[in-house]
Structure 1
């Protein structure tokens, strides 16, 4: 599986359409045929998945025990607003107004690629989030990644 790479400053037009940057478009060869899915992020941003990735997520969700209230709530909140996106002839996608409002996205956005997804942030919100980098990023890296590759019995 390939992962998306890059960070792109973009602008939405007055109708809420975003032109996919050419360097990102190259990483989405099946987007025109299969489509994309946009959804709410865990923070106030949006997340774009390829249809194939979204289907994997939905498959995982369908395996959860829906007799448990917390599971039903999570599925409801996680999938709330999920919308299929199509590329038009100009390589633009139209974001639903309700999702743009949820994320507080204005005309300037940042597309931040992370593994199998593309986060869509209002530029000011993204800059603010990135300005809050931990004072000692090395400590955070050790805390999060320090046990990677270690056996449990060590």
Structure 2
């Protein structure tokens, strides 16, 4: 399970070093990862093993029309990459444009159960600020689960 928030530098080629706790989890399911467009100018990153589980769940849950929409609108936009020997992952260029990297060349990785989200740091802060009221509304229920 992925958890935590990590600030990562992106090099001029669009690669970032995966923090070791996350890398170990990804590598248990192979060295390949899948990127998808996420909401709010973010990207979703799945290990290949988790992505295959998503595909199996969608096959079982969607009818033929829904499955075609899923394939046309989501799977066709996916990008793949490999973790190299230095522990870096290349964010595919067309998807990297969705999370504009600032001059400091940093991204935020956020662990969300079975996937990671990738954000521009300024967009991540804006998102947290924007959703703060919803968090406060649901805080007691969230804390009861802990």
Q: What TM-score, normalized to structure 2? A: 0.82
1:1-154 pair list within 5 angstroms: 3-30=1-28, 33-63=30-60, 64-66=62-64, 68=65, 71-106=67-102, 107-135=105-133, 137-141=135-139
* Residues 67-104 of structure 1: CA deviation (Å, up to 9, x unaligned): x3x55334322223212221111100111110011233
Whole-angstrom distance in 2 between the partners of 1:4 and 1:73: 28
Whole-angstrom distance in 2 between the partners of 1:102 and 1:136: 25
Query: Any gaps of 5 or more consecutive residues in structure 1?
Result: 149-154
The structure where helix makes up a greater share of residues is 2
1:151 is matched with which residue?
A: none
Query: Any gaps of 5 or more consecutive residues in structure 2?
Result: none
Contact 1:134 1:140 in 2 (8 A): no
Whole-angstrom distance in 1 between the partners of 2:125 and 2:15: 21
The offset of 1:130, in angstroms, is 1.1
The offset of 1:34, in angstroms, is 4.4
Larger Rg: 1
Matched positions, count:
141
> What RMSD, in angstroms, separates the aligned Cα atoms of the two structures?
2.4
